[in-house]
Amino acid sequence: MRLEHRNIEIKDIVFGDAMKVDGSTLVVDKNAIIDELMKDENIKEVKVDLAKPGEKTRIIPVKDVIEPRYKVEGTPGFAGVTTQAAPLGEGIVSVLKNTAIVTIGDIVGFQEGIIDMWGEGGTWTPFSKTLNIVVDITPIEGLTPHEHEVTCRIAGLKASEVVGLAAKDVEPTEVVVYEKGTIPEENAKYPDLPKVVYVEMLISQGLLHASFIYGTDSIGILPTYLSPTEELDGAVISGNCVAACDKITTYQHQNNNVIIELMELHGKEINFVGVLMVPELTTLRGKFVTCDYTAKLCKELGADGVIVSEEGYGNPDSDLLMICQRLEKMGIKTVLITDECAGWDGMSQPLADTAKEAVAVVSTGNVSHVVTLEKADRILGDPFAVANLAGGWEGAYNPEDGTIKCELNAVISSTSEIGTHNATIELV
C-alpha cells in the first residue's frame, strides 16, 4: 500500500469569507463549518473560535482533536463513518499541517480535558502548538449521553473535512510517502531483518471509553490486523473523552508516532509487519481471549519483536501485562509503552498490575504529577468545567488569582501512550 501525505505548512489562521490557504495562512470560513454541522438535527447550536499558540486561552472540556485533510486520490473522508465504507490507506492526502479541529462541550460533568495555549499547561500538551479551530457543539435538549457523544464525535470529523477543503489544489511544502508491500513481499525483500509487530490497545468499554475502526466499535472485535497506512489515513477514531492525559485523540491516530517511527525504520533496521488493533475489554474472560489471541497472531505473523502501546489506566494495565507475559514466554521480545500513575511524589507503584516479564517499558510520564495552571484571559468552552476540575481536592482552585493546581491527568495528551506528546526523559 502507498499513501502520500502532501503536507502544507500553515503558519497563521484567520477567519474569512472562503475556506482557503493564502500563502501560509489558513483562512477559515466559519459559516461553512456551522452550515455543515447544523444539518444534523441533533445539533442546536455551533460556535467556532480560533486559538493560537501563545495566547492566554484555555480550551475546556476538550472532546476530540482532529487534523483537517483533503483526499486528492483514494477513498475520501473517514470511510465507514462520514463516507461510504471502503478501504483506506492508499492514495494521496493533502494535510493542513500545524492546524487542528478541537471539539468541546461537556457530555458528562467530570470531563477534564484542558488545552492551555500558553504557560505551564501549554508546555505539557502538544495541542498548544497547533493553530486550533475550536468547535463548540450544543445539542438539542433531551438527547441521551450516547446520542450526545455520537453527535459531537461525528460533528468533529465533519468539521475537519469542511476545513480540509481549503487544502484542495494547494501545492505542498513537503511530501511524505508511506509505502509497504504485502507481508510475503516484504519478508522476501528483507529476509535478514527482525520482524516487528505493533500492538495498539484501544479502550473498548462503552460510553466515553470507546474506539472505532472503520466505524466499527472495537468492543465487538477480536484483535485485528491493519496495514500501517490505514490508521494514518483515518481508519481509527477516538470515542474517549474522560481521561485527558492518556486519551488518544483522532489526531494522534492520524499521526500515530509509533507507526511513523516504525515505517521510518522499515527496510533499514526492521521489517515492520503491521499493526494489530487490540480491544481492552472489561470482563476477565474478554481480557484472556484478546490477550491469548494477540499473542497467537504475533506468533503466526512471525514476529521477532513486538511493541505494545496501552490506552487508559486501571483495568487495561492487566491486558498490557498479560500480552507481555504471553509474548515473552513465546520468546518474542516485547517493549511496552505506557504512562504511570505513581502519586504526587512519583514513588507509588506506577501500574495497576505487575509482571516479571515486563523488562522493557517506556514510560510516557506520571499522570499524577502536579502542575499549576495560570489564570487564562479567555476560556473557550465551559468555565464551570474549570471549577469542576478544581474539585479534585480542597484548595486546588484559587479564586483570588485564578490559578488551578491539578494533576497532569487533566491536560490533553500530556502523557500520550503513543508518543504524540512533549514529555521526555532527563538522565540524571
Provide the binding-site residues for other proteins, judged by CB under 8 A. 108-112, 145-146, 203-209, 219-220, 240, 242-243, 245-247, 280-287, 312-316, 318, 341, 343-344, 348-349, 352-353, 367-368, 388, 391-393, 409
Among 198, 246, 238, 199, CA closest to 218 = 238
Strands 43-51 and 131-139: antiparallel
Helix (H, G, I), strand (E, B) or coil at 168: coil
In the complex with other proteins, the residue whose CB is nearer, 75 or 318, is 318
At closest approach, how far in Å is the CB of 145 from other proteins? 6
| Euclidean distance between CA atoms 243 and 221, whole angstroms | 23
**Where does 66-180 have alpha helices with state H?**
119-124, 145-164
Which one is catalytic: 241, 245, 324, 341?
241
- The answer to whether the beta carbons of residues 5 and 95 sit under 8 Å apart is yes
At closest approach, how far in Å is the CB of 146 from other proteins? 8
At closest approach, how far in Å is the CB of 405 from other proteins? 12
| Euclidean distance between CA atoms 76 and 158, whole angstroms | 12
In the complex with other proteins, the residue whose CB is nearer, 14 or 108, is 108
Concerning whether 324 is annotated as a catalytic residue, the answer is no
Residue 202: strand pairing partners:
279
In the complex with other proteins, the residue whose CB is nearer, 37 or 201, is 201
At closest approach, how far in Å is the CB of 267 from other proteins? 36
In the complex with other proteins, the residue whose CB is nearer, 228 or 316, is 316
At closest approach, how far in Å is the CB of 116 from other proteins? 19
In the complex with other proteins, the residue whose CB is nearer, 87 or 314, is 314
At closest approach, how far in Å is the CB of 203 from other proteins? 5
CB-CB neighbours of 349 under 10 Å: 11
At closest approach, how far in Å is the CB of 364 from other proteins? 14
| Euclidean distance between CA atoms 150 and 238, whole angstroms | 11
Helix (H, G, I), strand (E, B) or coil at 354: coil
| Euclidean distance between CA atoms 281 and 287, whole angstroms | 6
Helix orientation angle between 315-329 and 284-300, rounded to the nearest 10 degrees:
30
In the complex with other proteins, the residue whose CB is nearer, 223 or 316, is 316
| Euclidean distance between CA atoms 13 and 104, whole angstroms | 19
| Euclidean distance between CA atoms 116 and 411, whole angstroms | 8
Cell numbers that stand for 255 in this block: 499521526
Please enumerate in sequence order all residues whose Cβ is within 8 A of that of 345, keeping only pairs 6 or more positions apart, or say none.
Answer: none
In the complex with other proteins, the residue whose CB is nearer, 18 or 222, is 222
H-run or E-run covering 272: strand 271-280
Catalytic site positions: 241
